[in-house]
Amino acid sequence: MLPRGIAGPGIHGEFTVKNKDGSYTTLVSQRGTVQSVSDSSISVKSDDGFTQSYAITSSTTIVKLPASGTGTQGRRPSPQTIKATDLKTGDSVAVSGTKSGTTVTATRIIGGTLPAGSVMADGGWATGASLPERCSS
């Protein structure tokens, strides 16, 4: 989870959580632009120059936020599921995932501009934050 800091929302980070079974998981998150992308990996660069490559697996959820606008009942239209290769160099993305040793795996990639004040929550991005269900409090 990237909390909102003194200067605004975080742009990248990692932290370790204790799972209910007593094991530990290192969670990672990043906002930035796509540097390169394929079916199996994506490289993202944040505003401060930090660059991270993420493995993409069959479990990775990839969605594209619609351009801002009004959908049904005055709400923003829902994100659409896409393939990694639908993302292009220079696209804005938010990535959440896990780190094990030197391997960083994306669990969720969101393409498009996130709403102001968004933070990572439950493996995705939201305007509030909570620990994933598998974690103890």
Lowest mean pLDDT, pick from 2-6, 26-30, 46-50, 107-111: 2-6
- Residue 118 — very low, low, confident or very high, per pLDDT cuts 50/70/90? low
Greater model confidence, 10 or 104:
104
Q: What pLDDT is recorded for position 9?
A: 73
Q: What pLDDT is recorded for position 66?
A: 79
Domain spans of the chain, in order of start: 12-67+76-115
- Above pLDDT 90, what percent of the chain? 62
What distance in Å separates the CA atoms of residue 47 and residue 49, rounded to the nearest whole number? 6
CATH of 12-67+76-115, picked from 3.20.20.110, 2.40.50.320, 3.40.50.1820, 3.40.50.300, is: 2.40.50.320
**Residue environment code for 76-109, b if the CB has 16+ CB neighbours within 10 A, otherwise e:** eeebeeeebeebeeebbbbbbbbbeeeebbbbbb
φ and ψ of 117, to 5 deg: 85, 10
- 74 phi-psi bin (left φ>0, alpha ψ -120 to 50, beta other): left
In order of 21, 44, 102, the CA distances from 125 in angstroms are 25, 16, 24
Amino acid at 83: K
Q: Are 99 and 26 in contact (CB under 8 A)?
A: yes
User: For 36-76, what is each residue's pLDDT tens digit?
Assistant: 999 999 999 999 999 999 999 999 999 998 776 656 666 66
What distance in Å separates the CA atoms of residue 27 and residue 73, rounded to the nearest whole number? 35
- pTM above the 0.75 mark? yes
Residues 6 or more apart from 18 whose CB is under 8 A from it?
24, 135, 136
